[in-house]
Amino acid sequence: MGNQKLYKGSLQTIILKLLASNTKMYGYEITQKVKELTKGELKITEGALYPALHKLEADGLLDVEVAKVGNRLRKYYKLTENGTRETASKLEEMQEFLKTMQHLVNPKFGLE
Amino acid sequence: MGNQKLYKGSLQTIILKLLASNTKMYGYEITQKVKELTKGELKITEGALYPALHKLEADGLLDVEVAKVGNRLRKYYKLTENGTRETASKLEEMQEFLKTMQHLVNPKFGLE
DNA sequence: CTTATATACCTAAGTTTTTTATGCATTAGA
DNA sequence: TCTAATGCATAAAAAACTTAGGTATATAAG
């Protein structure tokens, strides 16, 4: 697991992207999916995740649907229309960011 | 200028990388260089830069050398030996991070 | 000549986002 | 029956930054 510090600021985008690909997901599922997809590189803590989900919901980007599975509850989140738009926008910003950073830290860079 | 939020956590690495490529630089020069290299995508604010430089110096990663140019002073920073080691390490973490994020937000991802 | 912009340093208060540390409850497995 | 996994949550603290100042010199424009 590398420098978790670098992931600061990208949590919202990660959540939105997952919901764009998976229609609906619940919190715990998101933490597991991210751990799996990143091969353990990134572990989303619950202390970060739940407040983030609540904020996205409050901002109108996510809708919640509570389900009871056995005797335990799950809160399924999915994108609203606005959420879908915002996701596209945030993904573009992310791509731009990644391109810029790649360029900045490229080992060849600055030697030209 | 995209989402500045995404750059949170990467300032130290950016500074170190620049000093690895340019031997010595002063604060203002760093802000200008980053603006130029990123074509305005990233603007490092002085309120973020100077505290970061001071911290890197306090951590023993940078050495300072004060120079007088005309009637104005400049503080040139350069990597210490430890700083050079840390830079290599941080650049590896950055590459890992970029790879992981690229993978996570890849549009094709999650559709397989 | 005076005013705006660029150069060059700095700090402090406030905000945002995350970590760390809890808490509660259910279910499955050893 | 005890531990780990599932599933939600919050609250205090830390970290990193933005915003908003402050000081001073140099230079270009009007």
Q: A42-94 pLDDT, tens per residue?
A: 999 999 999 999 999 999 999 999 999 989 999 999 999 999 999 999 999 99
Average pLDDT over chain A, rounded to an integer = 92
Whether residue B87 contacts residue B17, with contact meaning beta carbons closer than 8 Å, is answered with yes
B14 touches strand D (CB under 7 A): no
Confidence category of residue B109, pLDDT binned at 50, 70, 90: low
Q: Residues B67-89, buried b or exposed e (16+ Cβ, 10 A)?
A: eeeeeeeeebbbbeeebeebbee
Residue B36 CB contacts under 8 Å (≥ 6 apart), including other chains? none
**Is residue A96's pLDDT more than 80?**
yes
Q: How many CA atoms lie within 13 A of B112 on its CB side?
A: 5
A9 class by beta-carbon count within 10 Å (0-12 exposed, 13-18 middle, 19+ buried): middle
Predicted pLDDT at A1: 58
Burial label, B43 (beta-carbon count in 10 A; 0-12, 13-18, 19+) = middle
pLDDT over 70 percentage in chain A: 93
Give the pLDDT score at A4.
Answer: 86
Interface residues 27-66 of B with strand C (CB < 7 Å): 27-29, 32, 46-47, 50-51, 53-54
Q: Which domains does chain A have, with CATH numbers?
A: 10-104 (1.10.10.10)
- What pLDDT, on the 0 to 100 scale, is given for residue B3? 76
Q: What are the residues whose beta carbons fall under 8 Å from the beta carbon of A99, sequence distance 6 or more?
A: none
Chain A residues closer than 8 Å to B38 by CB: 100, 103-104
B18 close to A (CB below 8 A): yes
Percentages of chain B per state (helix, strand, coil), in multiples of 5: 60, 15, 25
Could you say which of A10, A21, A42 has the minimum Cβ distance to residue B111? A21
Distance separating alpha carbons of residues A42 and B97, to the nearest angstrom: 9
| Nucleic strand C under 7 Å from the C-beta of A51 | yes
